[in-house]
């Protein structure tokens, strides 16, 4: 169980001495240290994190110099790479020294000096436990686009799918979503043409290859219209869909929010943390009208992996992800459009009469 959920389960509330929040779920550090029945295993779990790092001491180990860019204080590593804390590194350091007072008295250097992740010293471990066998997301993108599009040898698919499994959610029967399309001839689109694009003619998308028709849906109708990038005077039709039964989705909106305490193999989590964040960045990357088909290949590959995953003998029904138009809105893609039913009396067409540019961001 994630550490935050375990603190909530203690069912004690008060004011936090570290983040200064008031009337929140709290952990009593003194009780944690001296009462074995209180907050069971929290200290040992944090102590396990210490074993993931080694002191960056060039006097004792000059061969470590090649990892100079990876050397940081322990608190900085935990702040940047574990999704545990919403405290500053300075406050994390103070918290660790109080919570792990025994370990701190034994090895102050680990808490106060620069450290590096231990996995960097084991190339074979990185190859066997890294999503891309010790390689980077950028090199994966290059390889999948230009070298081995259909038979990538870079990916430890089983490891990647373990992280996907940790994000699976259930979508309730009756949940409602929207789909928008731009009319090609200026006339409202009939309901018969508001489903997934037919196989063989579907254009490539963020999660579908050319010719493969999936059903893309959005939880808000106005965002659905914005996502199709309509122009002035375009006629857009919006259909409403209802989910017919409980579905299992991989929620990629959570892929960069996974906590290290959700996994037994914490070293595997740590070495893949940056890749999970790069995957999240790729899913959030805005697409343009000029974006080439090849630009979607990395996320199409991810989608194919998810499509053939099974949880308890059951296939995954689709993917949930954050809209590239609005960070507060979630989209889904269903591999089988028959999992949702279009509501025939909920079909509306609009003509775009005005476009407001209210959220412009300067590009350097």
Helix axes 74-81, 266-284, angle to 10 degrees: 50
Token couple for 5: 């959920």
Question: How many other C-beta atoms lie within 10 A of the C-beta of residue 124?
Answer: 8
Token couple for 108: 């102050």
In this structure, of 213-222, 235-244, 278-287, the range with the lowest mean pLDDT score is 278-287
Cα(81)–Cα(269) distance, rounded to whole angstroms?
Answer: 9
pLDDT band (50, 70, 90) for residue 289: low
Q: What is the percent of the chain where pLDDT is above 90?
A: 70
Q: Could you write out the DSSP letters of every residue in 175-241?
A: -EEEEEEE-SSSSPPPGGGSSSPPTTTPPP-SS--TT---EEEES-HHHHHHHTT--TT-EEEEEEE
pLDDT band (50, 70, 90) for residue 362: confident
171 and 308 share one domain: yes
333 and 204 share one domain: yes
169 and 293 share one domain: yes
* Residue 358 covered by a domain: no
Contact indicator for 255, 167 with CB cutoff of 8 Å: yes
* Residue 322 covered by a domain: yes
**Residue 65 burial by Cβ neighbours in a 10 Å radius (0-12, 13-18, 19+):** exposed
Query: For residue 169, is pLDDT > 80?
Result: yes
Query: For residue 273, is pLDDT > 70?
Result: yes
Alpha carbons within 13 angstroms on the beta-carbon side of residue 91 total 10
- Among residues 121, 150, 176, the one where a domain terminates is 121
301 and 176 share one domain: yes
In this structure, of 20-34, 86-100, 133-147, the range with the lowest mean pLDDT score is 20-34
Query: For residue 290, is pLDDT > 90?
Result: no
* Residue 360 covered by a domain: no
* Residue 142 covered by a domain: no
| Model confidence, pTM | 0.91
- Average pLDDT value for residue range 256-279: 96
* Residue 22 covered by a domain: yes
Q: How many domains does the chain have?
A: 2
Radius of gyration of the chain (CA): 24
Q: What is the percent of the chain where pLDDT is above 70?
A: 96
What domain range includes position 80?
3-121
Query: For residue 243, is pLDDT > 90?
Result: yes
* Residue 152 covered by a domain: no
- Among residues 121, 152, 180, the one where a domain terminates is 121
In this structure, of 44-48, 71-75, 106-110, 309-313, the range with the lowest mean pLDDT score is 309-313
pLDDT band (50, 70, 90) for residue 49: very high
- Average pLDDT value for residue range 64-77: 96
The set of residues, in sequence order, having a beta carbon less than 8 Å from that of 173 and lying 6+ positions away, is: 243, 244, 245, 246
pLDDT band (50, 70, 90) for residue 364: low
Mean pLDDT estimate for the chain? 92
Q: What is the four-CA torsion angle of 95, 96, 97, 101, rounded to 10 degrees?
A: 120
Q: Which residue has the higher pLDDT, 260 or 344?
A: 260
């Amino acid at each position: 169980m994630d550490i935050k959920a375990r603190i909530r389960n203690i069912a004690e509330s008060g004011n936090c001495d570290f983040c200064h929040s008031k009337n929140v779920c709290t952990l009593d550090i003194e009780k944690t240290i001296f009462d074995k029945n209180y907050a069971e295993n929290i200290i040992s779990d944090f102590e396990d994190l210490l074993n993931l790092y080694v002191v960056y001491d060039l006097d004792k180990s000059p061969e470590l110099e090649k990892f100079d860019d990876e050397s940081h204080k322990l608190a900085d590593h935990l702040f940047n790479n574990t999704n545990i804390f919403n405290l500053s590194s300075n406050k994390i350091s103070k918290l660790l020294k109080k919570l792990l007072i025994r370990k701190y008295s034994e090895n102050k250097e680990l808490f106060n000096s620069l450290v590096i992740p231990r996995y960097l010293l084991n190339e074979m471990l990185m190859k066997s436990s890294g999503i891309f066998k010790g390689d980077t997301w950028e090199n994966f993108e290059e390889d999948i686009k230009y070298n081995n599009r259909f038979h990538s040898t870079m990916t430890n698919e089983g490891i990647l799918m373990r992280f996907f499994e940790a994000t699976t959610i259930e979508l309730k029967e009756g949940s409602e979503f929207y789909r928008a399309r731009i009319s090609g001839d200026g006339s409202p689109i009939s309901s018969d043409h508001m489903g997934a694009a037919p196989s063989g003619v579907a254009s490539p998308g963020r999660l579908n290859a050319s010719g493969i028709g999936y059903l893309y849906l959005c939880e808000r109708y106005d965002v659905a219209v914005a996502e199709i990038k309509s122009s002035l005077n375009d006629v857009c039709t919006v259909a409403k869909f209802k989910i017919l039964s409980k579905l299992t989705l991989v929620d990629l909106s959570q892929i960069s929010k996974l906590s290290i305490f959700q996994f037994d193999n914490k070293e595997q989590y740590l070495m893949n943390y940056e890749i999970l964040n790069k995957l999240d960045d790729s899913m959030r990357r805005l697409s343009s009208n000029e974006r080439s088909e090849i630009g979607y290949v990395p996320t199409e590959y991810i989608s194919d992996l998810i499509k053939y995953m099974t949880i308890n003998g059951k296939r995954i029904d689709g993917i949930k992800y954050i809209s590239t138009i609005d960070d507060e809105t979630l989209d889904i893609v269903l591999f089988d459009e028959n999992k949702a039913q279009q509501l025939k009396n909920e079909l509306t067409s609009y003509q775009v009469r005005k476009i407001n540019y209210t959220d412009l961001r300067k590009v350097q």
